[in-house]
């Protein structure tokens, strides 16, 4: 069940960045700054939590912060939080630009947003049993397995989007001839 919650968190982050592609650049920078501040300022709360998965970007960011703090024991909590805050702000801006480049058609991005939100809804139903979240704490995190899943997700995303971009370019060349 933890995998389902993790997948939901990944999709929430993807949806957030996808929504930013429809906004003006200064709104994206402002939003990225707010996300960074959210991560940087919540470290005192993150050190008191064991898990906090959610359906919105801020609880997801908080959960990432909690996981990062627990993954780096003995390190300065504010240093971890503000370093992660800077990474989050850069990733939001870069991710927004990358999605706009890879999926240039606004209607396709909106359809993708709808489908991923529908998937979150379905996974939300699967992840809850009798009104409680079905996540058990773990004493050991298999970082290699988590990294492998993340790499496979990113690889599939990149391959699919590059294929779409190449197909779109070929189609536009055929139309202009």
Domain ranges of the chain: 2-137, 142-177
* Angstrom distance (rounded) from CA 98 to CA 170: 20
Residue 116 pLDDT class (50, 70, 90 cuts): confident
If one compares 59 and 130, the residue with the highest pLDDT of the two is 59
One DSSP character per residue, 54-91 reads: -SSHHHHHHHHHHHHHHHSTTS-HHHHHHHHHHHHHHH
Residue 131 Ramachandran class (φ > 0 left, ψ -120 to 50 alpha, else beta): left
With 0.95 as the threshold, say if the pTM is over it.
no
Q: Is the pLDDT of residue 96 over 50?
A: yes
Window from 93-107, 121-135, 160-174 with minimum mean pLDDT: 121-135
Lowest mean pLDDT among 45-59, 101-115, 133-147: 45-59
**Model pLDDT, residue 162:** 92
């Amino acid at each position: 069940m933890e995998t389902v919650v993790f997948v939901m968190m990944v999709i929430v982050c993807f949806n957030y960045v996808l929504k930013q592609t429809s906004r003006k650049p200064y709104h994206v920078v402002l939003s990225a700054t707010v996300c960074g501040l959210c991560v940087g300022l919540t470290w005192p709360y993150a050190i008191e939590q064991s898990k906090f998965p959610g359906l919105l970007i801020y609880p997801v960011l908080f959960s990432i912060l909690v996981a990062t703090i627990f993954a780096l024991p003995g390190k300065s909590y504010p240093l971890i939080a503000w370093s992660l805050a800077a990474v989050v702000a850069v990733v939001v801006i870069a991710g927004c630009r990358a999605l706009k480049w890879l999926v240039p058609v606004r209607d396709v991005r909106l359809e993708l947003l709808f489908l991923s939100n529908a998937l979150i809804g379905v996974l939300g139903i699967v992840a809850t049993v009798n009104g409680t979240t079905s996540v058990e704490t773990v004493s050991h995190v298999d970082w290699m397995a988590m990294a492998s899943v993340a790499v496979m997700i990113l690889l599939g995303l990149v391959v699919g989007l590059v294929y779409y971009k190449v197909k779109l370019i070929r189609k536009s060349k055929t139309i202009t001839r």
